[in-house]
Structure formats: C-alpha cells, structure tokens
Structure 1
Amino acid sequence: MAESETEKLPQFNSHQEVVEFFDTHDMGEYKSELPEAFFDIDLKRNQYLVSVDGYLMGKLLEVAKEQQVSVEVLLDSWLKEKLLKAS
C-alpha cells in the first residue's frame, strides 16, 4: 500500500486497546499516523571473554542445565559471590 493510501488509526481509550488493535493489524499500514520515537541507548557495558578448560566447561554446562540458567548467568553469579567473600 502506498504511503498516501495508509489507513487512519481509530481513537483508543487505553494502552490495552492499542495493544489489542495491533495484535490483529499491521503497523505498516498506519505508518503515516504513528509518531516518531526518540530515545537514547547506553551501550557502554563491557563483556570479556575468558578461556575455560574443556573438562571444567563440561561441568559448568551440567550445573547450568540443572539450575536451568545459561553458563554466563551461572558464572556471573558465582564470581559475584566469590568477590563479595574476598572483599
């Protein structure tokens, strides 16, 4: 559909009505009716890679699976606990 042929949005009385409406309608058909959104994103979080022995990684994977978390979450939690005890 060309932009000049976009649909007009109905009036909504709540955020829930908006959500329900777009559950069954394509937002692209209303693009000329939608306001632009501006927001900032802070991408300053650093992540670091570390080497882990294959046997140790296997054990970590087992524990993570038992606890139903990712290895990254498990290690992050364990390292924070260990650092708190060391401080």
Structure 2
Amino acid sequence: MRKNLIPISKATTYRQIAEFLDTHSIVDYWDQTKPVEFEVDIQSEITYYPLASKLSSQVQRVAKRQGIAPETLLNLWVQEKLQKA
C-alpha cells in the first residue's frame, strides 16, 4: 500500500488530498502542523511592455469587435509580425 502523502489524512493520491482539503478545515488539524522554511524562485512567463494610451484604446476596440481579449489580440499580432521578420 502507498504511503499517505499528507499525515492528516489517509490520502494516497493528489486527487484524494484535494478532496480531503476541500472538505476539511486546517484549523481542525493546526496542532499537527509544524513551521517550515523554503525558498521560491518564481520565473515570470509574462513580460509587460508599455503601450501608449491611444494605442491601448484602439487595441481594446479591435479585440472587443473580434470577441477576444486584448492580450490575445496583441500576442497574435506580435506572432504574425515576428514570423514575417
């Protein structure tokens, strides 16, 4: 049999852990927790570029007309332009 993945439940899969945590409060198990320290190195997958206000308004109008999000429209346009470069 597989080892429990978290000691406060008998869960042996990540799905079971999620179901357990969705239906139980950590408050009921707080005395079984212990402090830990760890580092997180989050690498952003998004880079932001400034866009002139007038251009931003135009992008929003075109995106709305096409039924897509402005960021999706910009990504498509940049991809098209880069393919031609």
Cα displacement string for residues 53-84 of structure 1 (whole angstroms, at most 9, x for unaligned residues) = 3xx65553243224443212211220221122
Q: Which has the higher contact order (CA 8 A, sep 6+)?
A: 1
Name stretches of at least 5 consecutive residues in structure 1 with no aligned partner: 1-7
Name stretches of at least 5 consecutive residues in structure 2 with no aligned partner: 1-6
Change (3 A) 1:15 1:76: same
Q: How many residues align?
A: 77
- Which letter maps to 1:72? E
Determine if the alignment matches structure 1 residue 82 to structure 2 residue 84.
Answer: no
Divergent runs of 4+, >6 A: none
For residue 49 of structure 1, report the CA deviation from its aligned partner: 0.7
Determine if the alignment matches structure 1 residue 69 to structure 2 residue 68.
Answer: yes
Q: CA RMSD in A?
A: 3.2
The TM-score, its normalising length taken from structure 2, stands at 0.59
- Which letter maps to 1:11? K
Change (3 A) 1:76 1:22: same
For residue 23 of structure 1, report the CA deviation from its aligned partner: 0.7
The TM-score, its normalising length taken from structure 1, stands at 0.59
